[in-house]
């Protein structure tokens, strides 16, 4: 295989991983099962059921957080999307160390941190999630939100503005139809505002005389 072919295959792989990350950012709780079935290796399996404890100076006072780990990370990914992955180093580190296999960390039930620190970082296996995050840091132009529906998506062209372009139900066509309707409404509004019944009567009589 030529080097260019290898580069193309690698780029397609990274694009696919980035698109999966966008799907995760848009994920609704009711769709978690389907996402896990479609992308079983994107995150560690045990990670989905992990609920961290609150961080306090006294470990004995730690309590389970209201949200699951995947919900915490999802919100972080959404916030990162708004910044197009232009991140300070600490933010990137948090994103990368918040996805791990909890069964390999050796933590007890009372102390379950939301991210990995210290030597435990060496125990984190790399998953497609990590690859997508690191790749997008250098591909910020691809990180976009649909101007029609607001969903996160990965652009393959810098000018793309919508998450879907094909078909009558796509966001591109929905936006275009809405624009046409707004333009028509503005034209009709101007006509109503500028309506002059006397002028219309004069035009009617003038046209009638011309036809006579």
**pLDDT, tens digit, for every residue of 149-197?**
999 999 999 999 998 876 666 787 776 766 554 444 454 455 555 556 6
DSSP 83-104: TTT---HHHHHHHHHT---GGG
Percentage of residues in the chain having pLDDT higher than 70: 76
**What is the rounded CA–CA span in Å between residue 56 and residue 92?**
23
- Please say whether the beta carbons of 25 and 13 come within 8 A: no
pLDDT at 190: 52
Rounded distance between C-alpha atoms, residue 209 and residue 103, angstroms: 92
Band (pLDDT 50/70/90 cuts) for residue 58 is: low
Phi and psi for 116 in degrees, rounded to 5? -95, 140
| Model confidence at 108: pLDDT above 70 | yes
Q: For a pLDDT cut of 90, what percent of the chain falls above it?
A: 50
What confidence tier does 2 reach under pLDDT thresholds 50, 70, 90? Answer: very low
Average pLDDT of the segment spanning 19-46:
97
- Average of pLDDT values for 192-208? 64
Query: Is the pLDDT assigned to residue 131 strictly greater than 80?
Result: yes
pLDDT at 85 over 60: yes
pTM > 0.75: yes or no: yes
**What angle in degrees, to the nearest 10, is found between the helix axes of 69-82 and 3-25?**
110
């Amino acid at each position: 295989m030529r080097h260019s072919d290898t580069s193309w295959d690698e780029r397609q792989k990274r694009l696919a991983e980035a698109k999966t990350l966008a799907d995760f950012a848009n994920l609704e709780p009711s769709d978690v099962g389907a996402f896990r079935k479609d992308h079983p290796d994107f995150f560690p399996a045990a990670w989905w059921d992990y609920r961290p404890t609150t961080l306090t100076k006294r470990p004995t006072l730690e309590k389970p957080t209201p949200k699951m780990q995947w919900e915490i990370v999802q919100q972080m990914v959404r916030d990162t999307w708004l910044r197009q992955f232009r991140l300070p180093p600490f933010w990137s580190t948090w994103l990368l160390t918040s996805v791990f296999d909890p069964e390999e960390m050796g933590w007890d039930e009372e102390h379950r941190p939301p991210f990995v620190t210290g030597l435990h970082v060496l125990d984190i296996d790399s998953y497609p999630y990590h690859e997508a995050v690191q790749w997008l840091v250098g591909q910020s132009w691809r990180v976009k939100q649909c101007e029609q529906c607001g969903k996160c998506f990965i652009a393959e062209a810098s000018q793309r503005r919508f998450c879907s372009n094909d078909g009558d139900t796509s966001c591109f066509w929905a936006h275009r139809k809405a624009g046409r309707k707004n333009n028509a409404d503005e034209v009709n509004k101007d006509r109503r505002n500028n309506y002059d019944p006397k002028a219309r009567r004069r035009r009617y009589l003038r046209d009638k005389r011309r036809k006579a």
